[in-house]
């Protein structure tokens, strides 16, 4: 495979994200290499791969995400790095890594658990938690790391409530999330597990997830005996006609909800707060009620998408933006690039909390659009509202520390002045 003529910016190395989204490289791709071949070299101890096509323009990203007949989630799963061939059948059990029609059955089942009514009933609890965390953060004085004091706990505890995880087990959710999400970050030493040969072990392998899956089965058994108004109760009782979810399907749903459900808000919330802190004029418009909260949430999601990339695999030879893509090639969409495509978003690097229309792809598109998007939007809106009410000032108080990852757009530390 050969790259297009001319220099193609590298957007594979997760270390490039240390200083934020590489907007200059993304614009170069959009303008000159909208479908660009990327070398997949060894980095941070993880082995090299065959390479992939990086898709950077909004229209092409939407096409790839919607056209499951040409771009499969099932063939090679949805992460840039190829899974171990022995693990692939296991990974394909997850709804995220399936294509219609099999994907449709599982999504229909879990959608019954994620009803709008159930989510909306959590709003008061979410608001009380946001208020309590803000009050606690003020005890640190005029400055606080809002990741450590507010956003990490906020996302984790809301998810635990929604799932119905007992209070004493909630630390497990954070441990499992960090293991799966933080594996590329050399500072997250506890998240990287190495084998006897010293090489990193894929955190999504069956062996690494066994503890989580055993817990999911114990929790489901408890919910069958003691049902309540939570998602695990709904999943434990979910049936397709007369057929209940299999043990493997239940385990994979739990994995998906714990990791994706936690990290969507855990990544988006500090990114939104940083944007508000760095744009005082827009923050003032929101504080003064000149901007609707819902519109602000959408723009902050566009500005800082929680997920940077998703991978598909070409089912057949095809063409994207004039580039020939062969069957079996990896095709990786760049969410943050699509969200800043000048062809769709006028003045895309300007934060405009009243931006409309705002067709960002932060929650995906097509059959795999984020199932928990409504819950994520509810949490983000409530959090921003409570923070602005409780903190008279929201200004940068130091450089944020970002997660080293080419998958999750995470912030590990966010020092802000809050009074």
User: Structural domains in the chain?
Assistant: 14-417 (1.10.630.10)
Sequence-ordered list of residues with C-beta below 8 angstroms from that of 164, at least 6 positions apart, any chain: 219, 223, 228, 230, 231, 232, 233
H helices within 226-246, ranges in order? 231-237
Closest CA relative to residue 406, chosen from 338, 332, 349: 332
CB 312 within 8 A of CB 331: yes
Supply the pLDDT for residue 2: 38
Supply the pLDDT for residue 4: 43
Supply the pLDDT for residue 188: 66
Collapsing DSSP to helix, strand or coil, 363 comes out as coil
Supply the pLDDT for residue 189: 52
Supply the pLDDT for residue 69: 96
Sequence-ordered list of residues with C-beta below 8 angstroms from that of 243, at least 6 positions apart, any chain: none
Supply the pLDDT for residue 110: 80
The partner residues of 334 in beta bridges, in order of sequence, read 309
Supply the pLDDT for residue 190: 59
User: In a 10 Å sphere around its CB, with 0-12 CB exposed, 13-18 middle and 19+ buried, how is residue 358 labelled?
Assistant: middle
Q: How far apart are CA 83 and CA 67, in angstroms?
A: 23
Collapsing DSSP to helix, strand or coil, 8 comes out as coil
- What pLDDT tens digit does each residue of the chain (419 aa) get? 434 446 899 999 999 988 899 999 999 999 999 999 999 999 888 889 999 999 999 999 999 999 999 999 999 999 999 988 988 998 898 899 999 988 888 888 888 777 888 888 899 999 999 999 999 999 999 999 999 999 999 999 999 999 999 999 988 998 888 888 888 887 765 556 676 676 677 777 777 788 999 999 999 999 999 999 999 998 898 877 666 788 888 898 899 888 888 889 999 999 999 999 999 999 999 999 999 999 999 999 999 999 999 999 999 999 999 999 999 999 999 999 999 999 999 999 999 999 999 999 999 999 999 988 999 999 999 999 999 999 999 999 999 999 999 999 999 999 999 99
CB 17 within 8 A of CB 402: yes
Bin 205: left if φ > 0, else alpha if -120 < ψ < 50, else beta: beta
């Amino acid at each position: 495979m050969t790259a297009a003529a001319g220099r193609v910016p590298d957007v594979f190395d997760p270390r490039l994200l240390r200083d934020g989204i590489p907007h200059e490289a993304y614009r170069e791709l959009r303008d000159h290499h909208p479908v660009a071949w990327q070398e997949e070299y060894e980095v941070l101890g993880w082995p090299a791969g065959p390479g992939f096509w990086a898709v950077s323009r909004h229209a092409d990203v939407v096409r790839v995400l919607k056209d499951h007949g040409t771009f499969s989630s099932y063939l090679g799963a949805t992460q840039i790095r190829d899974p171990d061939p022995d693990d692939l059948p296991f990974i394909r059990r997850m709804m995220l890594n399936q294509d219609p029609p099999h994907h449709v059955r599982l999504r229909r089942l879990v959608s019954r658990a994620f009803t709008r009514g159930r989510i909306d009933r959590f709003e008061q609890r979410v608001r009380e938690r946001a208020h309590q965390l803000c009050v606690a953060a003020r005890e640190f004085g005029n400055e606080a790391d809002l990741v450590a004091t507010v956003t990490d706990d906020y996302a984790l505890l809301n998810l635990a409530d929604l799932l119905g995880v007992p209070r004493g087990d909630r630390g497990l959710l954070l441990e499992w999330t960090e293991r799966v999400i933080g594996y590329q970050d050399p500072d997250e030493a506890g998240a990287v597990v190495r084998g006897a040969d010293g090489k990193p072990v894929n955190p999504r392998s069956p062996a690494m997830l066994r503890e989580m899956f055993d817990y999911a089965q114990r929790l489901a058994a408890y919910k069958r005996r003691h049902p309540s108004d939570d998602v695990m109760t709904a999943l434990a009782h979910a049936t397709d006609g007369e057929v209940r979810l299999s043990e493997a399907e239940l385990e994979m749903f739990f994995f998906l909800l714990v990791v994706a459900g936690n990290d969507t808000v855990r990544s988006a919330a500090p990114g939104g707060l940083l944007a508000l802190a760095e744009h005082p004029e827009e923050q003032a418009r929101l504080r003064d009620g000149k901007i609707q909260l819902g519109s602000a949430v959408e723009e902050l999601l566009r500005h800082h998408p929680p997920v940077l990339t998703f991978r598909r695999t070409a089912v057949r030879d095809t063409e994207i933006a004039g580039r020939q893509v062969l069957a079996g090639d990896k095709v990786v969409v760049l969410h943050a690039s699509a969200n800043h495509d000048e062809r769709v978003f006028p003045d895309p690097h300007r934060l405009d909390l009243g931006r409309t229309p705002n067709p960002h792809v932060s929650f995906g598109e097509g059959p795999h659009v984020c199932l928990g998007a409504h819950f994520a939007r509810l949490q983000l809106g409530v959090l921003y509202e409570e923070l602005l009410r409780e903190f008279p000032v929201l200004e940068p108080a130091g450089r944020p520390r970002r997660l080293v990852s080419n998958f999750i757009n995470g912030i590990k530390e966010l020092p802000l002045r809050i009074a």
